[in-house]
Amino acid sequence: MPEEKDQTEQLKKIKEEILGLTESPLYGERVKNNVFPVIGEGSHDAKIMFVGEAPGENEARTGRPFCGAAGRILDKLLEHIGLDRKSVYVTNIVKDRPPKNRDPMPKEIELYAPFLDRQIEIIQPEIVVTLGRFSMDYLMRRYGLESQVKGISQVHGQVFETEMKYGRVKIVPMFHPAVACYHGGQLGEMEADFEKLKEIIKIEDKNEK
C-alpha cells in the first residue's frame, strides 16, 4: 500500500492536470458556466471505489461527486449496509459535466479515462463498483473482462475478478443511483445489490485476517 502522503501528492497532481485540461471538449463548458471539474472524494486508501459516468449540475457547481439527487440515493444505499461514505472513494470516468447532462461521448471517455486508471493505481481498492453502463463497459474492457460485457440489467450485482498491477480486484457492476430517481420501484433491487456488496466485503475482511 502506498504511503498516504505520497497518495495525496499523486492525487493532487491529477487534479492539477485536469484543471488545466484545455484540450478537453468540455473545458469550454466549464469556463462558460463557471463550474468545476469533479476529481473524486473519499479515503485515499479505500478498499472500495465507486465509479460513475460524469458529473451532473450540482456536482459541477460544487466540485464534489454525487452530491445531488443521485448522491442522496447513493448515501441511502451506503447507509443501508452500514458503510460510511468517508471510508470509500467516489469518482467518475469523465471529470467534467457534459452539456445538459447528456451521456459522455466516446472521445470524452477516451480523454479522461487515463486519469481514472491512475486513481485506481494510487488508491489500490480491492473492490471497484461501477455505477451505470459507461463505467461498467470501460472498466470491464480495460481490465480483460470484455468477453463478459453484457447489458447492465443482465450483470448488475454480479462479481467479476480481474488482475491489476497491484493484485486481484473484484469489479461489481451496479445500476447508476439516478435510476432510482426516475424509477423508484428499482430502489429495492439496488438495495439487494448493495446487500451482496456487504457480503463481498465480509469475505474480503475474513480473508485478510
Residue whose cell numbers read 449540475: 57
- Give the three cell numbers for residue 202: 465480509
pLDDT, tens digit, for every residue of 73-115? 999 999 999 999 999 999 999 999 999 989 999 999 999 999 9
Quote the pLDDT of residue 5: 72
The dihedrals phi and psi of 104, each to the nearest 5 degrees, come to -65, 145
Burial of 168 (0-12, 13-18, 19+ CB in 10 A): exposed
What number of other Cβ atoms are within 10 A of residue 3's Cβ?
9
- Exposure pattern of 39-67 as b/e (b: 16+ CB <10 Å)? bbbbbbbbbbbbbbbbbbebbbbeebbbb
Cβ–Cβ < 8 Å for 204, 159: no
- Rounded Cα distance, 165 and 187, in Å: 35
- Residue 4: pLDDT band with limits 50, 70, 90: low
Does position 46 have pLDDT exceeding 80, yes or no? Answer: yes
Q: What is the mean pLDDT of the chain?
A: 93
Tell me which of 35-49, 160-174, 181-195 is least confident.
Answer: 181-195
Complete domains list, the chain, with CATH: 4-204 (3.40.470.10)
Q: DSSP per residue over 123-160, as a string?
A: H--SEEEEESHHHHHHHHHHTT-GGG---HHHHTT--E
Cβ–Cβ < 8 Å for 19, 96: no
- Rounded Cα distance, 127 and 158, in Å: 12
Question: Looking at residue 39, what DSSP letter applies?
Answer: -
- Residue 208: pLDDT band with limits 50, 70, 90: confident
Q: Outline where the chain has alpha helix (H).
A: 4-19, 27-33, 57-62, 69-80, 106-123, 133-142, 152-155, 178-182, 187-208
